[in-house]
Chain A
Amino acid sequence: MSTAREAIFRRIRQSLGRTDRGAPPPSSWRAALESDVRPRLDREPVDNFVHKLESVSGTVQRIDSSSSLIDALAEHLDRHRLGTRLSAAEYPVLAGIEWPAEWEIHTGPARGDDRVSVTGAFAGVAETGTVVILSSPESPTTLNFLPDDHIVVLRSEQIVAHLEDVWQRLREHTPGLPRTVNLITGPSRTADVEQTIQLGAHGPRRFHVILIEA
C-alpha cells in the first residue's frame, strides 16, 4: 500500500543481500539456541512467588480456603483504613462471592477517584512474583491502574514457574491475545526524583495479593 513500506522492505532485503522475500526461517532455529534461559528457582514455586513479590514491596496474604476470602479482604481494608467501597472485577474467582451487605461494590471500569479495586488473575509467576491479568469485559484494565490500592485474588494452582509457562497457558487459552495482558510486579514506583524510589507514581500505591492455597 504505502511506498514507505516498500522502500523499507527493499532496503532491509538489500542489506541482507537478498532481492526478494527469501525463505522463512527454518523452524529448527530455536533448537539451535539450545540453552535453557529459565532461571532456576531457589524455592518451591508458591514460596518463590511470595518471596519475590514481597521483595518489591508487594504484600501477600495466604489463606487456605476461599471461605476466608471476605475476612482476609476485610482485614486488609481495615488495616489500611481503605473503607468498604470496592471496584471489583467479575473474574471467576470473584463471581460467586457473597459480599457483605454493608460493602459498596462496583463493577465495570474504574473511575478516576476509585480508592480500591479487587481483581482476579490469569496466573502468577514464581520466577519474579508477577501477577498476570487479562483484559476482558469482566476484568477491565483500568481496575489495575486507577485505584490507589489494587488487591488481587489468586489461587496457588495458578502459579507457574516461569514466564514461558504463562505464554504456553495463554496459547492454550485463546487464539490470539486479549487486548491487554498486564504483567504486574508490585506497586507503581518511580525513581525520577534524585534516584530515590517512591511508590505510587501513577498507578496503585499498594499492591496486595490474597493467595488461596486450597
Chain B
Amino acid sequence: MQRSASAFKQQAELALRDEVLQRALAKAKGGFVDKRRLAVANLPEFETIRTAAKSLKEHTLAHLDFYLEQFEQRVVASGGQVHWAGNAQEACSAVLEILGDQPRQVLKGKSMVSEEISLNAALEAVGHTIVETDLGEYIIQLAKERPSHIIAPAVHKTRDQITDLFHAEHVKYGYTERVTEVKAIVDEARAVLREKFLNADVGITGANFLIAETGSTVIVTNEGNGDLSQILPRVHIVTASIEKVVPTLDDMATLLRLLARSATGQEMTSYNTISTGPRRESDRDGPQEFHVVIVDNGRSEMLGNEFHDMLRCIRCGACMNHCPVYSAIGGHAYGWVYPGPMGSVLTPVMIGLENARDLPTACTLNGRCAEVCPMSIPLPDMLRELRVKEHERKLTGARTRIALQAWAFAARRPMLYQTITRWFTAVLGRFGARNGRFRSLPFASGWTQARDLPAPQGATFQQQWRRHR
C-alpha cells in the first residue's frame, strides 16, 4: 500500500477544499452516529457485554499462542491448510504460492489485512486478475483509489461520481445507459459482478473472527459478496491477522452483539458465515481447497507494550464515525490503510512514527472515540503515548518545541510567570479594549486565520485578586 501519511497536513487541507468530497462526507455524517446510538439504546445489556468482551479478548491475547495453535490444528483436521506470514511480503508470497503459475481470476471479499499487505498489487504484478466484490471496494477499485473508511470504503464518493465511473467502465460489458438511481447502480454492479462470480478460480476473503474451538473463519457482510466469493471458486483463501482469534463460538456471539451495532447500527449483519475447511466429500458445492494465511505484521510486538489495547480492535469503524477530525477531512488524508482514531494509532505503530508524525497530534483529545469504542480501547491515551515518543525522538516541529520550552520555563516559575502575564494582558487588553477582539495578531496567526481572538479584560485574575483581598 502506497504511503503518504507524512503528507497528512497538505492532504487534509486539500480534502477541506474538495467540495465534492465535502458533500459526500456531509451526507455520511450523522447517519452512522444516529443508527449506532439507537442500536445501543435498544440493548440494555450493552455495557455488560462490552465489559465481558474486553475480558474475553484480554484472555485470548494472554494465551494467544495457545489459541492460534488450537485454531491451526482444527483447520488442518477439517482438511484446510494454514500459512503463517510474519510480514506483508511473506503474506503475499504465501498467497502467490497457493495461486500457482497460471494467471488466475481472483474474487475478493473485503479484507483490510489484504490492503495492509498490498495484496492486489502483488497479485496483479504477476498477471492475476483481481475483482473486488464488495460494492464499495468495487467502486474504488474502478476509481483506482483506496478505501477511505474501514467498513464503508467508498464513503467519500458521491452518487454522481459513481454514475460517471460505472458509465465509463461498464460500456465494455454492453451497459450504455447512465445509471443514476441507487437501485439502478446497485443492479448494474450486481449484473456485472455476477458474471465474474461465476467464472472465477479463486476467492479471497478476510475474516472478522477465527474460531479456535472449531478451526473456522468467520466473515460478517451485508451484501453476500463474501459468500459468493468463497463458495463458487475452486479455492478459498482467507487472509487474517493473528489477533482475530477467539476461543469459542460463544465468544464470537458476544463480539457480534457489539460489532454490528457499533458499525452500522444493525442488531445483526445480514450474513454471518462460519467456514470450516474445504467442501466435504459428498458436498455438491463449496471450495475444494481452503487456506488460511495468518498475518502478524508487527502485532506480536504490540502484545504487552503500550499499544497492546489496540489488539482488541474489532474493526467496527465507530471511532472514525464519531471523530470530528475524520468527518472534516475523510479517510484518505490519513495516508495509509487505516484512517481515523484507530488508524492514527495503528499507522505510526505499523509504518513508523517518523512516517506519520502528524497523525497522533491531529486530534483534539476530545475522547468521543473512546466513549463509543465497543472494546474500550483508550485511543486518546495511546495517541498521547505516541506524542511522548515524538517528543523523546524530537519529531515535533521546531517552532512548537521552542514555543513550548519558553512557556515551560515561565510556567515553572510562578513569580516570573505572573510578571509576564501582567504585562501581556495589560498590553493586549489596552489594544483590544476598543473592539473587544483582534482580527489578526502577528504572533497568533494560527489562531487568527480562522477566528478572532477575544481580547483580555485588562488585568490578570491574580493581579486583581491580590489588589482586592
Neighbour of B279 across the interface among A5, A11, A179, CB < 8 A: A179
Neighbour of B65 across the interface among A22, A52, A182, A183, CB < 8 A: A22
How many residues on A have C-beta within 8 angstroms of the other chain's C-beta atoms?
75
| Contact of B276 with A by CB under 8 A | yes
Q: B381: shortest Cβ distance to chain A, in Å?
A: 20
| Contact of A103 with B by CB under 8 A | no
| Contact of A61 with B by CB under 8 A | no
Whether B267 lies near A4 (C-beta < 8 A) is no
8 A Cβ contacts from A25-44 to B: 25, 29, 32-33, 35-40
Neighbour of A12 across the interface among B48, B83, B303, CB < 8 A: B303
With A12-B65, A192-B134, A201-B135 as contacts: A184 and B270 at CB distance below 8 Å: yes
Count chain A CB atoms within 10 A of each CB in B56, B214, B253, B280 and give the residue with the most: B253
Whether A39 lies near B257 (C-beta < 8 A) is yes
Neighbour of B193 across the interface among A52, A191, A202, CB < 8 A: A202
Count chain B CB atoms within 10 A of each CB in A5, A39, A192 and give the residue with the most: A192
Q: B192: shortest Cβ distance to chain A, in Å?
A: 11
Segment from A68-76, A77-85, A94-102, A141-149 that makes contact with B: A141-149
In the bound complex, what is the Cα–Cα distance between A169 and B266 (angstroms)?
A: 25
Whether A177 lies near B90 (C-beta < 8 A) is no
Count chain A CB atoms within 10 A of each CB in B43, B85, B216, B227 and give the residue with the most: B227
Q: A73: shortest Cβ distance to chain B, in Å?
A: 23
Whether A163 lies near B256 (C-beta < 8 A) is yes
Neighbour of A142 across the interface among B32, B216, B285, CB < 8 A: B285
Whether B231 lies near A192 (C-beta < 8 A) is no
Q: How many A-B residue pairs have CB under 8 A?
A: 262
Q: B141: shortest Cβ distance to chain A, in Å?
A: 12
How many residues on B have C-beta within 8 angstroms of the other chain's C-beta atoms?
102
Whether B272 lies near A37 (C-beta < 8 A) is no
Whether A186 lies near B27 (C-beta < 8 A) is no
With A15-B303, A190-B186, A194-B182 as contacts: A202 and B228 at CB distance below 8 Å: yes
Give chain A residues whose Cβ lies under 8 Å from the Cβ of B183.
198
Closest residue of B by beta carbon distance from A141: B231
In the bound complex, what is the Cα–Cα distance between A112 and B232 (angstroms)?
A: 10
| Contact of B324 with A by CB under 8 A | no
Give chain B residues whose Cβ lies under 8 Å from the Cβ of A29.
59
| Contact of B365 with A by CB under 8 A | no
Whether A35 lies near B52 (C-beta < 8 A) is yes
Count chain A CB atoms within 10 A of each CB in B55, B62, B65 and give the residue with the most: B65
In the bound complex, what is the Cα–Cα distance between A202 and B223 (angstroms)?
A: 5
Neighbour of B63 across the interface among A25, A36, A108, CB < 8 A: A25
| Contact of A119 with B by CB under 8 A | no
In the bound complex, what is the Cα–Cα distance between A154 and B401 (angstroms)?
A: 68
| Contact of A7 with B by CB under 8 A | yes
| Contact of A93 with B by CB under 8 A | no
With A15-B304, A145-B227 as contacts: A195 and B27 at CB distance below 8 Å: yes
With A162-B253, A180-B273 as contacts: A11 and B283 at CB distance below 8 Å: no
Give chain B residues whose Cβ lies under 8 Å from the Cβ of A2.
83-84
Whether B285 lies near A201 (C-beta < 8 A) is no
8 A Cβ contacts from A105-161 to B: 108-109, 112, 128-130, 135-137, 140-142, 144-146
Segment from B154-162, B345-353, B410-418 that makes contact with A: B154-162
Give chain B residues whose Cβ lies under 8 Å from the Cβ of A162.
253
Whether B190 lies near A194 (C-beta < 8 A) is no
With A135-B286, A193-B186, A202-B228 as contacts: A128 and B267 at CB distance below 8 Å: yes
8 A Cβ contacts from B253-283 to A: 253-254, 256-257, 264, 266-280, 282-283
Q: A198: shortest Cβ distance to chain B, in Å?
A: 5
8 A Cβ contacts from B1-60 to A: 24, 27-28, 31-32, 43-45, 48-49, 51-53, 55-56, 59
- Counting from the closest, the 9 A-B pairs by CB-CB distance are A203-B224, A201-B223, A15-B303, A192-B136, A11-B300, A5-B84, A128-B268, A163-B253, A181-B274
25 contacts between A and B (CB under 8 A): A2-B84, A8-B242, A15-B305, A16-B65, A21-B69, A24-B63, A24-B66, A25-B66, A35-B49, A37-B45, A37-B48, A140-B285, A146-B228, A163-B249, A167-B248, A176-B214, A176-B276, A177-B216, A180-B274, A183-B268, A190-B186, A190-B223, A194-B27, A196-B182, A202-B133
Q: A12-B300, A109-B285, A179-B279 are in contact. List 11 more A-B contacts (CB 8 A).
A: A33-B55, A38-B45, A108-B284, A140-B285, A141-B285, A142-B231, A145-B227, A177-B78, A180-B231, A189-B222, A202-B193
